[in-house]
Structures are given as C-alpha cells and as structure tokens.
Homo-oligomer: A and B are copies of this chain.
Amino acid sequence: MEREKLIRFLLSSGLMSRPQAEEIAGQFQPRTLERNAFLLQAGRVSDEYLFLDRGLLRAFVHDADGNDVTTGFFSGGHVALEFASFFNRTPSQEHLQALTDCAGWFITYAQLNALFHARPEFREFGRSVLVRGLITLKSRMLNQITETATARYESLLKTNPEILLHAPLKHVASYLGVTDSSLSRIRAGAKEAGGT
C-alpha cells in the first residue's frame, strides 16, 4: 500500500498496533508540492499536519535586517509543520517552502483533533512527536553553543547529508549560524583535510 511509510512512522513510536496505525493512516490525504512551492506562508495559519514521504522542505523567517534565516529543514520520513501556528491557530512567523518536489500525507487541524479525541493511542503519538521536536531542537541548540562552525557543519554532514545535496549553501549557512562565505571556506577546508 502506498501509505506504508506513513504507517511505519506511526508505528515507530511504539504506541499503537499495526491495525490501529493503518486505520489512522487512512484518514490522511495525499499532498504534493512542486519545487519552490510554499506549504505555508508567513502571516497565514497553518492547517495541514503534514507527514513528508519524500522531498525536502525548509522553514525560514526574515530577520530584523530583512535577511532570510533558515530555521529548519524537513526531509522524508518526518513531520513537516510549524507547530506554533498549527496548534495555537495563530499566523505563522515562518515560511515553509519546498526545496525539491515533495509528496506526503496530511490531515487538517479539525481532523487531527477529532482523532485525538477518539483515539488515545494517537493522542500519545501526537505528544511524542512534539517531544521529539523539542529534543531535536535542544540538541541543535547545544551543538550551536558548544561546537565550532566547522564541527557543526561536519555534524550536519553526518546526520543529514541529504540537506547538503539539495539546499543551496546560503540556506545551510544561515541554518548553521554562519555567513555563506565562511561556510564556503569551511567546506573547502574539510575537503582538503579529508582528501589528504
């Protein structure tokens, strides 16, 4: 079945049985995005809880000086979502844009709440997604504070190489908290060190 990846994602939490996962997955609707299309624009309220099957998205804001700052990447097998806007029903600060063609499965806020109400196991699952988001962000923060720019780049290279294949350097740079010229030099340095 085409929803297999979504079902496996629901099961990955260890909080529900396969039949339960299949039934929940049945509620999701297909969603595709072409490269450069926006899943969400700043100022709008997010209404799609999207599980990304394949493709790559990035989240970004415009900072005070008008520069783009990439706040996150979402790759296949994960939920691609601006939690704050979706759950609080408030206008998003962020844009979510496809870096490559994307395909996935979504449910709306109303559907999600109905499912939370009806299915305790899905409730638990929803909580675990939020907690995972917190854990990821926390470890990124710790990495940001304790590691040099070079180490942060190498760590991204190890854990999320697909990002570096599809995202332009400047997006990766602002995500890592360095300028694009610095990242270019870091990358040049890494290549040289690795090649010797």
Using a CB–CB distance below 8 Å, which chain A residues touch chain B?
Answer: 61, 63-64, 69, 71, 83-84, 87-88, 116-117, 120, 123, 126-128, 130-131, 133-135, 137-138, 140-142, 144-146, 174, 177
Which of B84, B134, B177 touches A145 (beta carbons < 8 Å)?
A: B177
- Taking CB atoms, residues of chain B closer than 8 Å to A137 are 134, 137-138, 141
A-B contact pairs, 9 of them (CB 8 A): A61-B142, A63-B142, A64-B146, A69-B145, A130-B131, A137-B137, A140-B141, A141-B144, A145-B177
- Taking CB atoms, residues of chain B closer than 8 Å to A120 are 117
- Taking CB atoms, residues of chain B closer than 8 Å to A84 are 131, 134-135, 138
Cβ A145 vs Cβ B144 within 8 A: yes
Main secondary structure of the interface of A (DSSP, over half): helix
Copies per complex?
2
Cβ A69 vs Cβ B138 within 8 A: no
A79 to B84, CA, bound (A): 18
A123 to B120, CA, bound (A): 11
- Taking CB atoms, residues of chain B closer than 8 Å to A145 are 69, 144, 174, 177
- Taking CB atoms, residues of chain B closer than 8 Å to A141 are 71, 137, 140-141, 144
Knowing A120-B117, A145-B177, A177-B145 are in contact, say whether A138-B87 is a contact too (CB < 8 A): no
